[in-house]
């Protein structure tokens, strides 16, 4: 086990510090840092994963919000010119500011459970600058992100994440690997931005559509988004009106979102003409 200097975990930051050497090494093996790469660690905490990463010949940017931990990290890596500490709230941070012209970023981190969902949606904005991401998350969230269409965990968040990313659940982590131990299971996930996205007229329309579709997931899709589409229009988008929302693949939701955007644009054009 690693034994860094004592730091009282702060509930408002959702801090649970990873201490199990075996899990840490397993994560490093999955990341497999290569010489010359640029890795960004979100929430390095006490630096146990950071220390392993820093042993590779890489550029390492740290994004940390806790000033006490920043002081510790600054001391820990004071003689390593390849490590840069960025004091920032990851939810508001402009990750493109770290981008090097000649190489994409690789993101890693043990993400606080209380911000992981909005943070992942925030990171989707920088998909073009990211090679891949390896994160520790609450297992329940990982199951939702990686779910196959038709699965019990397939939902609104699944669709939005899988539109932007290819997602692979790697391995589970038990609570006793952390201090303090969380009350839930964790899992490590690999997230790779899709090189080619399906054509989408407006991401906000997709978000609105998916939210409405899954507002009553047990009902047939005609009962949740029927106010926008006829049975024929649903079929044109590759959707059976009797399908439940969890039976509809990401591609079909994108088709529906584009159809809804086109519908609204036509109405707006007609209104402007009048």
CATH of the domain at 264: 1.10.8.100
Same domain, 229 and 187: no
Q: How many domains does the chain have?
A: 2
Q: List, for the chain, all residue ranges whose pLDDT scores fall below the cut of 50.
A: 1-3, 5-7, 9-14
Measured over the CA atoms of residue 95, residue 100, residue 101 and residue 107, the dihedral's sign is: negative
The CATH number that applies at residue 150 is: 3.40.50.150
List the domain range (segments joined by +) for residue 243. Answer: 203-273
Number of residues assigned to the chain: 274
Same domain, 214 and 81: no
**2 falls within a domain:** no
Beta bridge partners of 273: none
Same domain, 140 and 234: no
Last residue of a domain, one of 171, 193, 215: 193
Q: How far is the C-alpha of 115 from the C-alpha of 138, rounded, in Å? A: 11
Same domain, 242 and 161: no
Same domain, 51 and 179: yes
Mean pLDDT of the chain: 91
Model confidence pLDDT, tens digit, residues 23-74: 999 999 999 999 999 999 999 988 999 999 999 999 999 999 999 899 999 9
């Amino acid at each position: 086990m690693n034994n860094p200097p004592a730091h009282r975990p702060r509930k408002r930051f959702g801090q649970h510090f990873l201490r199990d050497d075996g899990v840490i090494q397993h994560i490093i093996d999955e990341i497999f840092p290569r010489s010359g790469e640029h890795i960004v660690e979100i929430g390095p905490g006490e630096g146990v994963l950071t220390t392993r990463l820093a042993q590779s010949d890489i550029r390492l940017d740290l994004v940390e919000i806790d000033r006490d931990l920043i002081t510790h990290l600054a001391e820990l890596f004071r003689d390593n010119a390849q490590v840069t500490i960025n004091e920032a709230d990851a939810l508001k941070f402009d990750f493109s500011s770290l981008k090097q012209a000649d190489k994409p970023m690789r993101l890693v981190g043990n993400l606080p459970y209380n911000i992981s969902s909005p943070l992942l949606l925030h990171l989707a904005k920088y998909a073009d600058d990211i090679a891949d991401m390896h994160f520790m998350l609450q297992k329940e969230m990982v199951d939702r992100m990686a779910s196959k269409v038709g699965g019990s965990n397939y939902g609104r968040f699944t669709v939005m994440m899988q539109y932007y990313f290819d997602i692979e659940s790697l391995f589970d982590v038990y609570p006793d690997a952390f201090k303090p131990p969380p009350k839930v299971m964790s899992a490590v996930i690999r997230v790779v931005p899709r090189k080619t996205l399906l054509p989408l007229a407006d991401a906000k329309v997709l978000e609105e559509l998916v939210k409405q579709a899954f507002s009553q997931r047990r009902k047939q899709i005609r009962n949740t988004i029927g106010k926008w589409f006829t049975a024929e229009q649903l079929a044109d988008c590759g959707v059976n009106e009797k399908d439940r929302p969890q039976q509809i693949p990401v591609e079909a939701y994108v088709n529906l979102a584009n159809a809804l955007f086109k519908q609204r644009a036509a109405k707006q054009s007609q209104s402007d003409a009048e």
